């Protein structure tokens, strides 16, 4: 078969799974570390339930994704996951699902592995959202997930450190209410309300104009300029205020 014919025929197979995000859809993506339970507890001994070294690597990985060539306006990270919000006009790779997923997963895996000094991988799924309200819902949902995760993780690791086995600690928390879990911690001298906000609400990453002092060699004067930088917000707002904050990225 001549190359041109084979090329045409094989393209049909190659493109048979191509899907596109429609241009009138808002677009988010979520990346999640693969087997990070093992990575954080066996391969590396990270502090549990929260380790600032792990947190900082996740923040840096989020920044790497936001600088990877897509038009991403907001990043959010909690635990081993990262959510990204795309600018509504972003048209990278013609919005091809496979390209976006594989590129972001590759970028995150490479960035995190270099920071860790060991191989670690992420998966990625793009999430088309039909309205601004749904974009706010999506990010409110991930923030609520951070909240639930952190309360559980604090209870679980407090019991483990008291000597409970994996199954004992898991069973002790099974089906228990939020007030029960708060009380469990309180009885042991931990006031959940006083724990750092980033553990309970996750961390946001945004582009900010940061003031910078520059030097003008012609006038020999110090001048105030600004530079666009990625900044991590460890004190995210909650509830309606957080929803409004998210909606602000879509204006």
- Residue 32 binds to Mg ion (criterion: CB under 5 A): yes
Closest approach, Cβ 120 to ligand GDP, in A, equals 10
Helix ranges (H only) for the chain are 3-14, 36-38, 52-66, 97-116, 132-161, 166-173, 178-186, 197-201, 239-247
x/- contact string, 32-61, with ligand GDP (CB under 6 A)? xxxxxx--xx----xxx-xx--x-------
**In the complex, minimum distance from the CB of residue 48 to ligand GDP, in angstroms, rounded to a whole number:** 4
Instruction: Kindly tell me which residue out of 61, 62, 77, 79 binds ligand GDP, with binding defined by CB under 6 A.
Output: 79
Residues 73-112 that bind Mg ion (CB under 5 A): 80
3-class secondary-structure state, position 78: strand
Single out the residue of 33, 49, 202, 204 in contact with Mg ion (rule: CB under 5 A).
33
Q: Could you tell me which of 53, 49, 52, 43 has the C-alpha nearest to residue 160?
A: 49
Taking the least distance from each CB to Mg ion, the nearer of 77 and 136 is: 77
DSSP string covering 83-127? EEEE-TT--GGGGBHHHHHHHHHHHHHHHHHHHHTS---EEEEEE
Q: 33 or 75, CB closer to Mg ion?
A: 33
Site size for Mg ion (CB under 5 A): 4
Partner in contact with 37, chosen from Mg ion, ligand GDP, none, beta carbon below 5 to 8 Å by kind: ligand GDP
251: exposed, middle or buried (Cβ count in 10 Å: 0-12, 13-18, 19+)? exposed
**Can residue 204 be called a binding residue for Mg ion (CB under 5 A)?**
no
Interface ranges with Mg ion (CB under 5 A): 32-33, 36, 80
């Amino acid at each position: 078969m001549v190359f041109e014919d084979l090329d045409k025929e094989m393209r049909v197979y190659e493109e048979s799974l191509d899907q596109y995000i429609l241009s009138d859809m808002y677009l988010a993506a979520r990346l999640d570390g693969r087997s990070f339970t093992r990575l954080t507890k066996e391969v590396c001994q990270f502090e549990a339930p929260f380790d600032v070294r792990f947190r900082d690597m996740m923040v840096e990985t989020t920044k790497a994704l936001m600088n990877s060539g897509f038009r991403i306006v907001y990043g959010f990270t909690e635990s081993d996951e990262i959510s990204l919000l795309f600018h509504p006009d972003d048209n990278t790779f013609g919005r091809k699902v496979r390209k976006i997923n594989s590129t972001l997963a590759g970028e995150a895996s490479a960035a995190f592995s270099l920071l860790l000094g060991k191989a670690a991988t992420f998966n990625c799924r793009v999430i088309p959202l039909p309205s601004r309200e749904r974009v706010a819902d999506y990010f409110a949902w991930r923030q609520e997930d951070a909240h639930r995760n952190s309360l559980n993780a604090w209870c679980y690791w407090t019991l483990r450190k008291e000597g409970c086995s994996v199954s004992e600690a898991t069973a002790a928390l099974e089906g228990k209410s939020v007030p029960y879990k708060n009380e469990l911690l309180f009885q042991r001298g931990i006031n959940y309300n006083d724990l750092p906000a980033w553990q309970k609400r996750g961390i946001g990453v945004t582009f900010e104009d940061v003031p910078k002092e520059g030097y003008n060699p012609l006038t020999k004067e110090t001048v105030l300029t600004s530079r666009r930088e990625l900044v991590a917000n460890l004190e995210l707002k909650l509830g309606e205020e957080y929803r409004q904050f998210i909606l602000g990225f879509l204006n």
